[in-house]
Chain A
Amino acid sequence: MSTARAPGTRSAATTGTSAKKAATRKRGAKTRRPADRPDTGRGARRTGLLTAMLRIRRFEERCVELYSAAKIRGFVHLYIGEEAVAVGVNEALGPEDAVVSTYREHGHALARGIPAEAVMAEMHGRTTGCSGGRGGSMHLFDASRRFYGGNAIVAGGLPLAAGLALADRMRGQEHVTCCFFGDGAFAEGEFHETANLAALWNLPLLLVCENNLYAMGTGIERHEAQTDLAMRAASYGMVAWAVDGMDVEAVEDAARRATEAVRAGAGPHFLELRTYRFRAHSMYDPDRYRDRTEVEQWKGRDPIGRLTERMRENGELEDAELARIERQVTDEIDRAVDAAAEAPEEPVENLLRHVTSASISSAEVR
């Protein structure tokens, strides 16, 4: 199932025993553009991908500064290095599709189109935040974009995603639910229960495992007996591919094919995206468990650097254009930070709001 566009894509254990699934995969394959046909829109598409990744990168670099300045608090988990995953996968999703995410979700949220202003304000704990300041970095939500959070219980979003997919299926909607989770989540029962349910019920679910090789300080070979995650997912009877998660176009390609198949009724698909976080697990993590040379090696595969290079080689990116993109995202983030700093904090009298749907108006807080 790998394509010319995706050199890092390894076709992993691809199962799916039903004839229906096989037929869907074939149909999906036919609709793809042959690799040799020139693609006129390619440069523009790549510019879009680059801009989306840079937005996430610069946004989070600003978060680090703001965290040091104590404007942002709590646990903050950076996505730096993993941007290709959120951006590539999002390309394959439509506005009607649903997304379920983790606590490392700034990238997912921004790629989904939640404005930087709303995310930044959330991290400042302001009413204008995408969760009204109640959630913070780990709990970004946007119902209007079917972005269902922002879950800080490892693997906690997976069953929820199965339910979203189930509801869409029961109501005859051709939507896909995309659930992001880490390699660490693979060890939780909730992952395995969800994988089985989804395969058993043929749910329209795209499982996106961001394998960054670590669950906090524990390397994957120290938390998984079998580290070939795609193969294990395939054992549930779903199609599963391992993909180079540092190549945004490889991610996009795999995600498009998987999403297309899921939408067509081929049941859940699993993508193992091999990626790496360049920063520590969270702002609290002294990062003592990783070899510096390992980190540096992965930095050499920076998804932003790789796409930039590819575009330059193809004459698709001038220096001036790159500078323009940088300015654009920096302006956007500047505006977001300014707006967050000026946004109102919620008055303490509102503390008991949003506990039940019948909003409690009592000023008595305890």
Chain B
Amino acid sequence: MAGDGRPEERGTTYRQAMREALREALRSDDRVFLMGEDVGRYGGCFGVSLGLLEEFGPARVRDTPLSESGFVGAGIGAALAGMRPVVEVMTVNFSLLALDQILNNAATLLHMSGGQLPVPLVIRMTTGAGRQLGAQHSHSLEGWYAHIPGLRVLAPATVEDARHMLAPALADPDPVLIFEHVTLYNASGEIAPSTAPVDLDHAVTRRPGTDISLITYGGSLPKALAAADELATEGIDAEVIDLRTLRPLDDAAVTASVARTHRAVVIDEAWRTGSLAAEISARIAEEAFYELDAPVERVCSAEVPIPYARRLEEAALPQTADIVAAAHRTVG
């Protein structure tokens, strides 16, 4: 584990990587504590915090009642008073019960107080669909949060980012939201022992290419990479940009990529209307219009609450084939 100098295990899962990040944070800073529903005895609804209660005790790994507004708000208060809380909300759909606290307190206290009250808080939650969990457990609302000034919004898409985004998030003096896509937890990868904390201000190129830019984040990254592989077999060399940070957006990285490839497909699991994909497309139009050889394409979820039935759910979500098709339209 990078935290105490031992090499990381090979084949770490995203879930384990996130747990290691939490463990390191709890070990290295006694202001840090974790709270949320079933994070302690149960080990987290997706098993992320398994074992942390045993290691750090119930004062620092706190099970909360089902009171999203209450414990998220309490996290904000504790942050104001000098702690560094990591609050887990089970899913983004449930975070709506705490939206008031996040928007009206966490994101605004610094400004309303004329700069007196920073809120150094991290809120983690799952997002996204793909497991037939229906319309109250499957939405991708990170774009709503990315709309809000005062918040930083992160979407770790790889095992390494799951491992190394928490520390810089905790070092940020302002509220940071971390979105963990529900289909990524079992993904595994390798973590280089010496990886430095992730630079939260910059997007990253996951695959360099020259013909088209596939711009995405979170759970859609594996699909975009698969699409790039498929396009490669046809001689189309796609570049894949992982935004990593959804607010503030790294405009320069997107613009630079489009300046290289002259074509862009934005992949976002949220609904198309008013989405992050819309925002990115607008910025490309504003900042790289004359670089484009084709209109920007978007691959988003269908404008429907995510249905349960398997075929319908699959059809509702961006799939690799949809990305390839959009790329074809762009390359024309």
Q: Please give the residue numbers on chain A whose beta carbons come within 8 Å of chain B beta carbons, in ascending order.
A: 73-75, 125-126, 131, 133-136, 138-139, 151-156, 184-185, 187-190, 215-218, 222-224, 288-289, 345-346, 348, 350-352, 355, 365-366
Cα–Cα distance between A218 and B64 once the two chains are bound (Å):
9
Report if B311 contacts A (CB, 8 A).
Answer: yes
Question: Shortest Cβ distance from B73 into chain A, in angstroms?
Answer: 11
Apart from A134-B307, A189-B97, A350-B312, 20 more pairs, CB < 8 Å: A73-B132, A75-B133, A75-B134, A135-B308, A136-B132, A138-B134, A139-B135, A153-B97, A154-B66, A187-B66, A187-B67, A188-B68, A216-B37, A224-B65, A288-B41, A288-B42, A351-B307, A355-B304, A366-B299, A366-B322
CB of A73 within 8 A of CB of B38, answer no
Report if B239 contacts A (CB, 8 A).
Answer: no
Instruction: With CB as the reference atom, state the residue of chain A lying closest to B63.
Output: A218
Contact with A along B131-175 (1 / 0, CB 8 A): 111111100000000000000000000000000000000000000
Interface centre among B42, B64, B309, B312 (most CB of A within 10 A): B309
Cα–Cα distance between A223 and B66 once the two chains are bound (Å):
8
Chain A residues within 8 Å of B318, by CB: 366
Cα–Cα distance between A267 and B94 once the two chains are bound (Å):
30
Report if B300 contacts A (CB, 8 A).
Answer: yes
Give the A-B contact count at a CB cut-off of 8 A: 136
CB of A152 within 8 A of CB of B66, answer no
CB of B309 within 8 A of CB of A366, answer no
CB of B308 within 8 A of CB of A366, answer no
Report if B220 contacts A (CB, 8 A).
Answer: no
For the complex, count residues of B whose C-beta is within 8 A of A: 42
CB of A348 within 8 A of CB of B311, answer yes
CB of B38 within 8 A of CB of A216, answer yes
Chain A residues within 8 Å of B94, by CB: 153-154
Instruction: With CB as the reference atom, state the residue of chain A lying closest to B299.
Output: A366
Report if B226 contacts A (CB, 8 A).
Answer: no
CB of A351 within 8 A of CB of B316, answer yes
Report if B27 contacts A (CB, 8 A).
Answer: no
Partner of B132, one of A74, A288, A289, A350: A74
CB of B65 within 8 A of CB of A187, answer yes
CB of A218 within 8 A of CB of B302, answer no
Partner of B309, one of A153, A346, A355: A346
- Interface of chain B, main secondary structure: loop
Cα–Cα distance between A185 and B68 once the two chains are bound (Å):
11
CB of B131 within 8 A of CB of A74, answer yes
Report if B301 contacts A (CB, 8 A).
Answer: yes
Instruction: Give the residues from 284 to 332 in chain B that come closer than 8 angstroms, CB to CB, to chain A.
Output: 299-305, 307-312, 315-316, 318, 322
Chain B residues within 8 Å of A153, by CB: 93-94, 97, 136
CB of B302 within 8 A of CB of A223, answer no
Question: Shortest Cβ distance from B199 into chain A, in angstroms?
Answer: 33
CB of B272 within 8 A of CB of A366, answer yes
Instruction: With CB as the reference atom, state the residue of chain B lying closest to A347.
Output: B311
Instruction: Give the residues from 38 to 68 in chain B that come closer than 8 angstroms, CB to CB, to chain A.
Output: 38, 41-43, 45, 63-68
CB of A365 within 8 A of CB of B309, answer no
Given A74-B132, A139-B135, A351-B316: A216 in contact with B45 (beta carbons within 8 A): yes
CB of B302 within 8 A of CB of A351, answer yes
Chain A residues within 8 Å of B316, by CB: 351, 365-366
Partner of A184, one of B45, B65, B134, B304: B65
Question: Shortest Cβ distance from A157 into chain B, in angstroms?
Answer: 11
User: What are the 4 closest A-B residue pairs judged by CB atoms, nearest first?
Assistant: A217-B42, A136-B308, A125-B309, A187-B65
CB of A125 within 8 A of CB of B303, answer no
